[in-house]
Amino acid sequence: MRVVYSPRYQIDIGPHVFPTRKYQLVYARLIELGVIQPSEVFEPEPAGWDELGLVHTAEYLAKMRDGTLSREELAELELPWSAAMVEGFRLMVGGTVQAGLIACGLGTQKLKETPGPVCHLGGGLHHAFPNHGEGFCPFNDVAVAARALQARGVERVAIIDLDVHHGNGTAFIFNPRVAPPPPDKGVLGARGASPPLAAAAGARLERGLSPPWDPDASVFTFSMHQQSNYPMWKPRGTFDIGLPGGTGDARYLRELGQALPKVMASEPQCVFYLAGADPYEDDQLGGLRLTQQGLRQRDRLVIETVRLAAVPLVVTLAGGYARRVEDTVAIHAATIEEAVNATLRST
């Protein structure tokens, strides 16, 4: 098994619904259970500013680096700025990039050939746009990793986003022309954002971007999420399924089983899987009402589908905000267990 993780992912963001300590807890739980061994874990380097520039605008990166985000931009990001916060998330982006390189056999590490997924105990920051951050996501790690792979010769990438929230930043990055403008003032923006904040966010979508903004056929984005949930404005990705609140295990798994063949028909050379824990029935920010067993079945379905297609797979954790952090940890740990099981089936 190949795992990317750093204890520095436990970023101090003060009292917050986003439990950054979950990363350390997941790692400790996996070691305790014997699911992974310390020797299988690679600690990443932070993504360079030039690497972040594969996706993000120079103006936005300068604001993040220098701490000059406006009050409105911080409200939309929903994180307090600090140099430590920026460095922690740069490191997490580097982790997803490294996981992608390892999965595709492009890493600098001298590894024996090992089938199966590469798991990043972090990442899945899908709300970050090219020129601003949203919803706890300063940088879009999966988008940066996809571009980093393409810069090294990987032609086609697929992103399977099963966080409870739509991957709005990812959809816009790869499909900007098909993204409609915000339908009304007050629709775009942070949870509970005021109309002025939303209007300002909409005006920023084009800042720093260079036309033409053609949809990128080389990156297939698939998001299956709760439709009546954050973000209110959901740019269209390649393939989106918005589910009603209270969907539950049976319908969710049925919809997913029907959708995955369409994703794999794009013939990706690498797949990124955002295995969010927040579709869980007791998540504070989600309402799809999946059980822990249903989430494990979800993970098994995705991982096995990609394995049978013999395509490199990177698993990221994405969101998880259960009332009991132990539940979030258990869900994420089960995801990694399913990845380990897939590795064993491949040997």
Whether 321 has a pLDDT exceeding 80, the answer reads: yes
Q: What is the CA radius of gyration of the chain?
A: 18
Cα-based torsion angle of the residue sequence 166, 152, 6, 111 in order, rounded to the nearest 10 degrees: 130
Q: Which residue has the tokens 């990845």?
A: 339
Q: Determine which of 44-53, 126-135, 313-322, 336-345 has the lowest per-residue pLDDT on average.
A: 336-345
Cβ burial of 19 (10 Å; 0-12, 13-18, 19+) is middle
Average the pLDDT over 77-102 and give the result.
Answer: 98
pLDDT confidence of residue 193 = 43
CA distance 138 to 130: 10
Residues of the chain with pLDDT > 70, as a percent, come to 87
CA distance 77 to 163: 18
Average the pLDDT over 114-131 and give the result.
Answer: 92
